[in-house]
Amino acid sequence: MDELKHKTLNEQKWDRWAEGLDAKNRRNDYLRKAQHNLIALLPIKEGVSLLDIGCGTGWAVGDAAKVVGDKGTFYGVDMSAKMIDKAKENYQGRPGIQFMQANAESIPLADDMFDIIICTHSFHHYLHPDKALSEMNRLLRKGGRVYILDPTADSRIIRFADRIIRVLEPAHVKIYSTAEFHFMISRSGLRYGGCRVIGSNQKVHMGEKVY
Ligand SMILES: C[S@@+](CC[C@H](N)C(=O)[O-])C[C@H]1O[C@@H](n2cnc3c(N)ncnc32)[C@H](O)[C@@H]1O
């Protein structure tokens, strides 16, 4: 798809979603639970530097910061201006927490800044996933890790759903299989660290910056 058209459709969609993402309902409970389960796996210690790409209204950033009583640096970026506005409103006054509007494929932050990068329910929307992975590699410190939590096309039902969503939602890009995550993460220069099942049809794929 044409880049500008994809960007416009995507931004419009997520700006519309921003208002409802903090509401109490089944969909949001499902997203929060998966994010919470991911955060429980992370090696978060005092002084950690963590980035959430496609952070929505900032929920996972706030949850991660709570683990160390805000003693660290916690960033969230999202392409939707409305998501970022909500995130800033939600976490106003919390030390160490910052949000910024940015596309996952080009993030205006310095090299080697983060120990941990997370990306939840967002990666399958990226038009150029290789560019997003290359940004993750650039932003991680040596020894740092990325955790991508996403639906994973390892079953026929998810591959079928992926095809249907592509028809219904023009801005949808692709739900990847574990083999594709392994290949793309390795091609970005990170070492693929395997995956874990987090929820039904969702996996977290890990990558480590070893060089
Ligand atoms: C389904 S929401 C998930 C939000 C949150 N991470 C969660 O797990 O609840 C997908 C998010 O990805 C963001 N997003 C989609 N494409 C993006 C891109 N290219 N760069 C940055 N954010 C993007 C959207 O704006 C939206 O906030």
Task: Summarize pLDDT for 52-87 with one digit per residue, the tens.
Answer: 999 999 999 999 999 999 999 999 999 999 999 999
Give the model's pLDDT for residue 199. 78
Query: What mean pLDDT is predicted for residues 2-25?
Result: 93
Mutate to test the pocket of ligand 1, among 125, 127, 202 (most ligand atoms within 8 A of CB): 125
Q: Which CATH class is domain 3-208?
A: alpha beta
Measure 10 CA to ligand 1 centroid, in angstroms. Answer: 9
Type of residue at 51: L
Query: What mean pLDDT is predicted for residues 145-165?
Result: 96
Q: Where residue 18 falls among pLDDT bands split at 50, 70, 90?
A: very high
Measure 23 CA to ligand 1 centroid, in angstroms. Answer: 16
Task: Work out which ligand 1 atom sits closest to the CA atom of 103.
Answer: 20
Name the strands in the sheet holding 72-78, side by side, starting at the edge strand that comes first in the sequence.
97-101, 72-78, 48-53, 114-120, 140-151, 202-208, 191-199
